[in-house]
Amino acid sequence: MQATTHMKRRSDGRISIKSGNEVQLIMQLTILILTVLTVLAFLFFDYTGLDIQRAIQETAYNLKVMFLEPALSHFGWGEAIYQVGITLGLAFLSTILGAVLSFFLALSAATNLTNEWITKIVRIFLAFIRAVPTVLWVLIFAIAAGLGSEAAVLGMLFHSIAYLVKAFSEAFEEVDKGIIEALRATGAGWWHIVVHAILPSTFTYLMSWTFLRFEINFAVAVAMGAAAGAGGIGFELFMASSFYFDLREVGMITYMILVLAIILEVISTLLKNRYFPASIKN
């Protein structure tokens, strides 16, 4: 987009110049349209039978029971730890397999390592995969594999590959061109360049992106435990909220998931500080 310049002669004879940008104009119009649609949605919403005061009171009571009186009613701590382990296993398996496959696919998606037409084909195909939410991929694979952990892993794996290939290929493209040209000048082959130039220069970024995807897959695995019948702590959360209607158990499971997410974030930070300090400075 090109910037546009507007000139206007004022009453005193001077010319005022205002510069605008088509992108900014489009963004402003988009925000305005979304704001108007939001206001209209609230105006046309059907409020029949809705008691605002009672709804607020019941919501406050439910939140109080969930987060101030948490308890496990239908299974013990041993079973809870086991279910958390299943969820972590689903996330770990889909992440590790996805990272390995993504590394090789990313080599074909990087413009400085592969022919342009191959790169475009891979990127278009993976963009299509990323455009479809993970839960839809899980349901698609559930048709063939049936509801369960297999469909959940395949769905998360499919989306993880599309996500990591984009991240890995962009990291590969940031490698100094001088290093690649120097190796080529010495007669180094394509795989030699990957091993001795690409991998050492991007290893920290690959590990950081992989761990980030693991955190995402853990959250997705919780949801897939209910949506795809994959089991784990997500299935127990679904049962407690939709089958038993036990708010105290919902609160306890929520706390468990929150604590585990914080632990994963702490581990990620410690690993970056210990093994990848250079990536943090950059």
Name the band, by pLDDT with cuts 50, 70 and 90, for residue 3. very low
User: Percent of the chain, pLDDT > 70?
Assistant: 90
Of the spans 4-18, 157-171, 219-233, which averages the highest pLDDT?
157-171
Please classify residue 134 by burial: count the beta carbons closer than 10 Å to its beta carbon, then call 0-12 exposed, 13-18 middle and 19+ buried.
buried
Q: Which residue has the tokens 């390995």?
A: 100
Structure tokens, 254:
């929520």
191-215 average pLDDT score: 88
pLDDT in tens, 205-222: 898 899 889 989 998 898
Nearest to 79 by CA among 182, 208, 187, 231: 231
- 274 pLDDT more than 80: no
- Each domain of the chain, given as residue ranges in start order, spans 3-43, 74-281
Residue 68, CB-side half-sphere exposure with 13 Å CA sphere: 6
Please give the mean pLDDT across all residues of the chain.
84
Nearest to 134 by CA among 109, 117, 154, 159: 159
CATH for the 74-281 domain, from 3.30.1320.10, 1.10.3720.10, 1.10.287.3510, 3.40.50.360: 1.10.3720.10
CA separation for the pair 73, 59 (Å, rounded): 22
CA distances from 265 to 96, 128, 197, 250 (A): 18, 30, 30, 23
3-state secondary structure of 72: coil
15-24 average pLDDT score: 61
262-280 average pLDDT score: 72
Strands (E), the chain: 3-9, 15-21
- 277 pLDDT more than 60: no
3-state secondary structure of 4: strand
